[in-house]
Amino acid sequence: MVGLPARGKSYICKKLSRYLNWCGFNTKVFNVGNRRRVMKKRESITPTAPDSLLRQIPVEDASTPIGLPGETTHDAAFFDASNQEAKELREQLAMDTLDESIAWLRKEGSKVAIHDATNSTIIRRKALLQRIEMEEGISAFFIESICPEGPVLEKNIKMKLSGPDYVNMDPQVAMEDFKQRIRNYEKVYQTISPEEDQRLSYIKVVNVGEKVIAHRIRGYIPSQCVFYLMQIHIKERVVWLSRHGESLFNIQNRVGGDPPLSPRGLKYTEALVDFIKHIAITPPDSPGSPDLDDIPKDERKFQVWTSCLQRAMEVGDRFDPKETSVTNIKFLNEIYSGQFEGMTYEDIKRWHPDEWQQRQENKLLYRYPGAGGESYLDVIERLRPVIIELERMQSGVLVVTHQVVMRTLLAYFLGVPLQEMPTLSVPLHTLYCLKPKPYGADLYRYVLDESTGRLEFAGEGLE
């Protein structure tokens, strides 16, 4: 990463890491600031700690905020380029963090390491590249985050003041110290350009996705990063997720197929549509409604996405086309069970015990036999365009889909490890409200109260 403080570098790191991990590329972020804060904590215990101690500090140790009431771990003077001792220490911390990331990449299964730091000078970036060039089979490119003066920068600065560097500090004192830190960096900051090194590969992201520039980007993963970064933004919106209502196959414990809804499923469908109409669809002229000028024309109606299976499409059929835009998307169909479509789980276990055992041992990798049979990883692959579109959207959307797809979408937004994804609990007749945030997503649940026929708030997070 490259960029001044409060330019959204860590936000981009976390989003990119979450996306790449979800896509199956084992990714980890290595934050130099965390190492610095841990180093300060160790210094307070052992002031004369040797330099070698710094190299032994794992980044995870900085997960807990550090600092005494009214103190910052390092004030603005630590980031002054004229402070030679601090400058040398900052350079050492950056290189030690790079060494840690390289060591991690050498482990089996590791794919992408993200070096999260300002890396704001040509000298620093050259030193990083020289170190990486010593390693066979590892390549690198830079992502520079640029935020000119304006609302995005002001919002980023306010977020920084709630971080571990300023815990328990007077807000005004913290604000002045952080702004001085930025001024210190601005004195020496050098943006990336081809003149720096003609061989340099980099992506520039302006205002967290408003503009993206790619230079000498080669390979599958770097290209995927460019495409993903072109979609992200920090505007608030809500994503509603729900499985279809109970179907006849749910009652019979059958796999897949295209059955109709049961009477209970129809009751949930009616409650879901009524809830969304009254809670999620905001008339354009009502208080609190978004400014239509800020929303793309194709999103000014509330969006409803369903799979192409009848038990999901019945939801879309009940919305008023004047208020909503309903789209049936095949990518949202349930995992295809191949030759097991329409069978009961009991029959699969009885007549195909080897297949049943393979699925029990590894649901993530298991692919149903027969033409078109899918695995969870296949579902992830076909859902990539859906995730990209959900990231791009700036207005609300309701997604009505199926159990495996629900697990996959929730795993992306909540950062659930892939191995845990197949066991996520996503019961029928439950509506999830996702509110994407800079460092993840808030999740709220609403469940059907069958005595009243209404959806009621049931708590935060997954069950």
Which of the residues are catalytic?
Answer: 116, 147, 334, 402
Please tell me the number of Cα atoms within 13 Å of 251 on its side-chain side: 11
Torsion angle (degrees, nearest 10) of CA 241, 242, 243, 245: -160
* Helix axis angle, 84-105 to 32-45, nearest 10°: 120
How far is it, in rounded angstroms, from Cα 51 to Cα 78? 18
Terminal CA-CA length for the chain: 36
3-state secondary structure of 416: coil
In Å, how far from its chain's centre is CA 220?
19
Contact 37, 66 (CB under 8 A): yes
CA distance 102 to 138: 8
CA distances from 54 to 11, 81, 89, 222, 339 (A): 25, 21, 10, 31, 57
Neighbours of 153 (CB within 10 A): 17
Q: CA–CA separation, 80 vs 185, rounded Å?
A: 7
Q: Provide φ and ψ at 327, rounded to 5°.
A: -130, 130
Strands 430-437 and 440-449, how do they pair?
Answer: antiparallel
Exposed / middle / buried, residue 460 (Cβ in 10 Å: 0-12, 13-18, 19+): exposed
* Residue 354 φ/ψ, nearest 5 degrees: -65, -45
The DSSP H or E segment spanning 442 is strand 440-449
List helix spans (H) across 286-426. 310-316, 345-351, 353-361, 376-392, 403-414
Question: Cα–Cα distance between 398 and 276 in angstroms, integer?
Answer: 8
Phi–psi pair at 190, nearest 5 degrees: -130, 115
Distance CA 378, CA 148 (A): 41
